């Protein structure tokens, strides 16, 4: 009798234990940590897939929120903590502003992982006045190049040849452009950078520690001003026209109204399906190599990951998973960019991406310090004023005024 009673008690206790255990499992499942990622529409599907695979192995859930790429940086500074992301996709030149404002956390990569990235890509996401720290894992590299319609003109090997061929093509028919490079009323210092660097221009110099020095502004440095009369010449002959905006430049090249187009890998698909014969090269050397700006995009962990209690998971996702070759290849190529990870880069077979990559040789990463925000409008405006055709301002005057305005803004 005692044994039967004991058995019943044990069975009841075991049932209660199993019920409690089942309830605990359900509660744990319901409380699975959530990692919120802000990304743009172009990357949504691939970020969801790649991050989702990581989440499945970690017992976490991914919440992908779509934002306009240009809004991510600004929105991060105003969002309520409850709605804030733990991880964001971003551009390397946001690093200084976000790090200085305490909105992103340092990232720590293993030495073996670091070795898989070009040094400049890691430097691009690094910031610090005394000691630099890494604040993002680079996933994509991009730069502009000179697209040449090889069915219309020869591929130039010098700037003099480019100038001659472009002007000759411009004269062939009314409405033709010499070089289709976008500016528009607001200017475009990014697309004009190869011409700027080719004349000896630079944005910021570096100090003895190798850090960007915002007090050393090279927008109107002596070497550039010495070569500035070439801009006046280009304006007079119509080699470059500030009235050309993005759509005008694209339409001109695609309809054979221009044989030369300055653009980037975001137009790779358009070029590949255009039926045109083309080659992408770097703008030929002017007085100096006409190198482009280099843009690096990647992922950062925000301060809100700690607020949400998922900091360790967010760091693991970004530092260990998004940095790996497989994830890099998926995230970069799907968005039409070359992966930052060199092992992933070896697996890219797209010839157009490869040509854009070669066109970026020796390029300059866009300055990632907050003071860069004071440069864009004035530098772009200097190009517009000096290349608008009739009534243009002399380049020396326009760029000297821009340098002065930038210095005043930086203080």
pLDDT (tens digit per residue) in 329-387:
998 888 888 899 999 988 888 899 889 988 998 899 999 888 999 999 999 999 999 99
Please name which of 93, 140, 139, 145 lies closest in space to residue 268, comparing C-alpha atoms: 145
Q: How confident is the model at residue 48 (pLDDT cuts 50, 70, 90)?
A: very high
- The mean-pLDDT minimum among 16-20, 42-46, 55-59 falls in 16-20
Spatial distance between the Cα atoms of 188 and 240, rounded to a whole number of angstroms: 13
pLDDT (tens digit per residue) in 68-119:
998 999 999 999 999 999 999 999 999 999 999 999 999 999 999 999 998 8
Handedness of CA 148, 151, 157, 161 (dihedral sign): negative
Residue 17 has a pLDDT of: 45
Residue 286 has pLDDT above 60, yes or no: yes
Q: How confident is the model at residue 2 (pLDDT cuts 50, 70, 90)?
A: very low
How many residues does the structure list for the chain?
411
Spatial distance between the Cα atoms of 365 and 345, rounded to a whole number of angstroms: 19
pTM for this model (two decimals): 0.80
HSE, side-chain direction, 13 A CA sphere, residue 277: 6
Residue 16 has pLDDT above 60, yes or no: no
Task: Specify the DSSP class assigned to residue 302.
Answer: B
Residue 14 has a pLDDT of: 44
Residue 10 has a pLDDT of: 42
pLDDT (tens digit per residue) in 304-326:
999 999 999 999 999 999 999 99
């Amino acid at each position: 009798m005692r044994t039967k009673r004991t058995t019943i008690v044990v069975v009841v206790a075991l049932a209660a234990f199993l019920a409690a255990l089942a309830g605990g499992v359900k509660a744990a499942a319901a409380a699975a940590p959530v990692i919120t990622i802000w990304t743009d529409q172009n990357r949504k599907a691939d970020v969801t897939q790649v991050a989702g695979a990581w989440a499945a192995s970690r017992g976490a859930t991914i919440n992908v929120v779509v934002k306009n790429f240009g809004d991510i940086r600004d929105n991060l500074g105003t969002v309520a903590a409850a709605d804030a992301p733990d991880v964001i996709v971003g551009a390397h030149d946001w690093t200084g502003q976000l790090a200085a404002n305490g909105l992103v956390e340092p990232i720590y990569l293993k030495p073996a992982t670091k070795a898989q990235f070009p040094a400049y890509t890691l430097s691009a996401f690094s910031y610090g006045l005394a000691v630099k720290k890494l604040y993002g894992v680079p996933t994509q590299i991009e730069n502009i190049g000179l697209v040449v319609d090889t069915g219309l003109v020869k591929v130039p090997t010098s700037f003099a040849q480019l100038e001659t061929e472009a002007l000759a093509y411009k004269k062939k028919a009314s409405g033709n452009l010499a070089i289709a490079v976008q500016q528009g009323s607001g200017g475009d210092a990014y697309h004009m950078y190869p011409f700027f660097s080719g004349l000896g221009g630079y944005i910021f110099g570096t100090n003895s520690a190798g850090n960007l020095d915002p007090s050393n502004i090279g927008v109107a440095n002596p070497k550039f001003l010495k070569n500035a009369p070439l801009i006046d010449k280009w304006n007079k002959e119509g080699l470059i026209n500030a009235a050309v905006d993005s759509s005008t430049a694209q339409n001109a090249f695609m309809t054979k109204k221009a044989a030369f187009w300055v653009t980037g890998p975001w137009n790779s698909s358009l070029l590949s399906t255009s039926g045109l014969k083309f080659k992408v090269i770097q703008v030929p050397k002017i007085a100096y190599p006409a190198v482009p700006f280099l843009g690096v995009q990647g992922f950062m962990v925000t301060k809100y990951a700690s607020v949400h209690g998922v900091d360790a998971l967010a760091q693991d996702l970004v530092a260990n998973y998004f940095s790996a070759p497989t994830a890099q290849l998926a995230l970069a190529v799907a968005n039409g960019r070359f992966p930052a990870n060199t092992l992933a880069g070896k697996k890219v077979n797209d010839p157009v991406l490869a040509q854009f990559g070669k066109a970026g040789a020796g390029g300059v990463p866009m300055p990632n310090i907050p003071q860069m925000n004071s440069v864009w409008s004035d530098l772009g405006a200097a190009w517009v004023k000096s290349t608008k055709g009739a009534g243009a301002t002399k380049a020396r005057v326009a760029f000297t005024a821009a340098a002065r305005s930038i210095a005043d803004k930086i203080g």
